[in-house]
Amino acid sequence: MDIVTYPLGRRPTVRTWRSLALLMRLGYKHPNLVLAMALAVVLGFGAPAQSQNWTDPPLVFGYFQNILSYYDYKGSGHDFSSFSLQQLNLMIQKDLSPRWTAFVNMEFVNSFSTSRMIGDFNLEEAWIRYRVGQRHSLKIGLLIPEFNRMNTIKTKTPLLPYIIRPLAYESSLAEAIAVEEYIPTRAFLSFYGTLPLGNVKIDHAVYVGNSPNISTSDQPGQTGVDTSRTFLVGGRLGARLANIQAGVSGTLDYFDYPAEVGGLIHDPNPNVREIPRYRLGADLRVTQGPVTLEGELIEVWYDDDLDEIVSDKDFYYGTVLVSVTEQLIVFGGYWTTSQHFLDVAQGLRGFELINYVARMKIPTFGASYSLGDRVVLKGHFGIVKEELDAKGVRSREFDFNFYGFGTSVMF
Amino acid sequence: MPNMTANDTGDYMGMRERRVMSLRAAGGRPQDRVVAFHIAWLFAAILFALYSAPAAAAQVAIIANKSVPVDSVSQSEVLEIYTGELREWKNGSPIVAYDLTAEGTVRDQFYEFIGRKSSRIKSIWMKNLLMGEGSPPESLKTEEDVLGRVAKTPGAIGFVRPEMANDSVKILAVVTPLTGSD
């Protein structure tokens, strides 16, 4: 490994430590000021997004998406509209040598503000990559695993014409859609690359990560993470030929139901721990002239052998995109999810398990317009229909229309 | 017979008579119409040639640093290099690609050759950048800059007009692009 190293300067002196202590006290009293200073320092290293040499300073770049959204609940009186900074991503990339690259991606969502107690901050990616030969790479660290075509680009808003992403990828709908059950969101080791086979290019990726939601406590509501026992393994195999790309993806990880579920099942010895969970995905994208058709499906099932519990899920989406000009793209599509999940409720005979099925269907339309290379204006309209069945009986349904206008800016 | 005006007269003449009349009016003889016909065709051919000549005749030389371990490249290899899919030469040395800043004949011809529009290449690099898969080739202002940088940078590749290439670099291909990029 031929990582180029740089002299880090003199050894820290007593004066240095005092300065550091002063900075820490300042940070304790004025966290926003220190955050601003840190950002200024980081941005000060910024360089234009051009070809980087391993002796150059780190590249700092990113993007954000502002939106104005309006939810029309069709006369129910619950309509509302809101401005928000849907997402801001700050990325830092540094080529350490011709083969080694480090990359960090920090994500702030929903107008993140600690003082107002809204939004969220997420360390989305932090990995180092080693290029193996001409066409393969090994990534080590926190990374977004390859699953279908959309998973790795789902948060890269400048690449997408959508404001609301295809449902299984839309983290802002996390209250309604179990995003992390549909898709693997994190892995820690990945080997991927491309193999040319005549005119066809075979894309492949395999990865490992942690199984999520492994509870270490028998107390209800505990969802502490213990990653010592089970892992996530997965991959994608895809093919590209001219303007057609297709792929299949799959993962296996292990899931724990909340501890109290075991006591509510009538099976004398129920196993609710380390349930194998399988995800299967398929993706297709075909471009012919100005028209692109893209679609995906995801199936999730739990191999739990428990008749009283169903947690399987599925998701489909298909979108037709038309490039009217090089700047203007219009699209129309149909997205749908079906989620089985369970909840614990107090009935006449005490607590009981209830199986729910939630369905969401969205015919959706929109357009995006590129202003130069770095600014994209977006408009998005969706007719949302949600249904909730409990024990096989329709318990709730509601419809609303979503209107969104956004600006995605890359810097 | 309907009322006729002077302008209508020609409709009742034979085609041959009208042509002879027009030639006579221009001071020519009947056999001159063959010459006029050929001159008209020649004029049209010259116009067509002038219109189509730049696209058909302009060539692009794909040049590389002399350290590069290959003597030729295919269209698909150049496309892979300029979209970031191929990053190393066969001997493991890194590929350093150079582009031109301003859109012009050579750059247009180069993108025609690799079969992608400049805007498509930009969107591919935006994706690469946001995925941490690398940043686009450095763009230089002039062909002289490209020639100079390719000559002195190990593993470098670039493109210039064929007449610009000299002994300081290796010419991997001289190509005449076909039109029709996506």
Please indicate whether residue A79 or residue A377 has the higher confidence score (pLDDT): A377
Best mutation target among A134, A149, A155 (most B Cβ atoms within 10 Å) is A134
Task: State the pLDDT at residue B6.
Answer: 39
Longest dimension (CA), chain B: 91
Task: State the pLDDT at residue A138.
Answer: 97
**C-alpha distance from B4 to closest chain A C-alpha (Å):** 53
The arithmetic mean of pLDDT across residues A231-240, rounded, is 95
Q: Which of A84, A87, A82 is nearest to A109 (CA)?
A: A87
| Beta-carbon separation of A133 and B129 below 8 A | no
> pTM of this prediction?
0.76
| Beta-carbon separation of A93 and B126 below 8 A | no
Q: Please report how many Cα atoms fall inside a 13 Å half-sphere around the Cα of residue A339, on the Cβ side.
A: 22
SS3 A146: coil
Contact status, residue A395 vs residue A389, Cβ threshold 8 Å = yes
pLDDT at A164 over 70: yes
Q: Which amino acid is at A387?
A: E
The arithmetic mean of pLDDT across residues A246-267, rounded, is 85
Per the DSSP assignment, residues forming a β-bridge with A36 are none
The arithmetic mean of pLDDT across residues A12-27, rounded, is 49
Listed in sequence order, the residues at least 6 apart from B119 whose beta carbon sits closer than 8 Å to its beta carbon are A326
Identify each DSSP E strand in chain B by its residue range. Answer: 60-64, 96-100, 138-140, 156-160, 170-175
* Type and span of the H or E element at B119: helix B118-130
Q: CA of B159: how far to CAs of A346, B83, B84, B146, B173, in Å?
A: 74, 15, 16, 7, 10
| Beta-carbon separation of B96 and A194 below 8 A | no
* A131 touching B (Cβ < 8 Å): yes
CA B18, CA B39: separation in Å to the nearest integer?
20
Task: State the pLDDT at residue A166.
Answer: 93
Question: CB count, 10 Å around CB of A125?
Answer: 22
Task: Report ipTM for this prediction.
Answer: 0.79
Q: Which residues of A touch B88 (CB under 8 A)?
A: 131, 133-134
Partner residue facing B94 (CB), from A98, A125, A194: A98
pLDDT at A246 over 60: yes
Task: State the pLDDT at residue A367.
Answer: 97
Task: State the pLDDT at residue A180.
Answer: 87
Please indicate whether residue B8 or residue A238 has the higher confidence score (pLDDT): A238
Task: State the pLDDT at residue B13.
Answer: 41
CA-nearest residue to B122 within chain A is A373
CA A200, CA A246: separation in Å to the nearest integer?
11
- For every residue of B33-64, DSSP letters joined together read HHHHHHHHHHHHHHHHHHHHHHHHH--EEEEE
Q: Please report how many Cα atoms fall inside a 13 Å half-sphere around the Cα of residue A369, on the Cβ side.
A: 5
CA-nearest residue to B115 within chain A is A242
| Beta-carbon separation of B132 and A158 below 8 A | no
- Return the axis-axis angle of helices B118-130 and B105-114, rounded to nearest 10°: 70
Task: State the pLDDT at residue A42.
Answer: 42
Partner residue facing A152 (CB), from B119, B131, B139: B131
Q: Which residues of A touch B69 (CB under 8 A)?
A: none
Tokens of A155: 């948060």
pLDDT at A46 over 70: no
pLDDT tens-place string over residues A249-259: 999 998 888 77
CA A225, CA A127: separation in Å to the nearest integer?
21
Task: State the pLDDT at residue B37.
Answer: 67
| Beta-carbon separation of A194 and B138 below 8 A | no
* A13 touching B (Cβ < 8 Å): no
pLDDT at A30 over 60: no
> pLDDT tens digits, chain B, 182 residues: what are they?
344 443 443 343 444 444 434 434 444 455 666 666 666 776 666 555 445 444 445 789 999 999 999 999 999 899 999 999 998 998 888 899 999 987 677 888 899 888 888 888 888 999 999 999 988 999 999 999 999 999 999 999 999 999 999 999 999 999 887 655 56
The arithmetic mean of pLDDT across residues A147-163, rounded, is 93
Task: State the pLDDT at residue B43.
Answer: 62
Output the CA torsion A220→A223→A226→A231 (10° steps): 120
Task: State the pLDDT at residue A57.
Answer: 87
pLDDT tens-place string over residues A282-334: 999 999 999 999 999 999 999 988 878 888 999 999 999 999 998 999 999 99
Q: Given pLDDT bands bounded at 50, 70 and 90, which one contains residue A365?
A: very high
Partner residue facing A158 (CB), from B126, B134, B138: B126
CA A86, CA A155: separation in Å to the nearest integer?
11
Task: State the pLDDT at residue A123.
Answer: 92
| Beta-carbon separation of A91 and B130 below 8 A | yes
pLDDT at A273 over 70: yes
| Beta-carbon separation of B182 and A135 below 8 A | no
pLDDT at A115 over 80: no
| Beta-carbon separation of A131 and B88 below 8 A | yes
| Beta-carbon separation of B88 and A134 below 8 A | yes
Partner residue facing A243 (CB), from B119, B129, B182: B182
| Beta-carbon separation of A50 and B126 below 8 A | no
Task: State the pLDDT at residue B23.
Answer: 37
For chain B, list residues whose CB is within 8 angstroms of any CB belonging to chain A.
85-88, 90, 92, 94, 96-97, 117, 119, 122-123, 126-127, 129-132, 134-139, 182
**C-alpha distance from A135 to closest chain B C-alpha (Å):** 6
Task: State the pLDDT at residue A263.
Answer: 76
| Beta-carbon separation of A93 and B127 below 8 A | no
Task: State the pLDDT at residue A60.
Answer: 94
Match 């193996």 to its residue by tokens. Answer: A132
CB contact residues (below 8 A), chain A span 142-201, against chain B: 152-153, 156, 158-159, 194
CA A203, CA A248: separation in Å to the nearest integer?
10
Q: Which residues of B touch A133 (CB under 8 A)?
A: 88, 92
Share of chain A above pLDDT 70, in %: 82
Q: Which of A94, A26, A83, A28 is nearest to A59 (CA)?
A: A94
* A255 touching B (Cβ < 8 Å): no
Which segment of A152-161, A169-178, A229-238, A314-323 scores lowest on mean pLDDT? A169-178
Q: Given pLDDT bands bounded at 50, 70 and 90, which one contains residue A266?
A: confident
Q: Given pLDDT bands bounded at 50, 70 and 90, which one contains residue A221?
A: low
Q: Given pLDDT bands bounded at 50, 70 and 90, which one contains residue A218?
A: low
Please indicate whether residue A352 or residue A147 has the higher confidence score (pLDDT): A147
What is chain A's mean pLDDT, rounded? 83
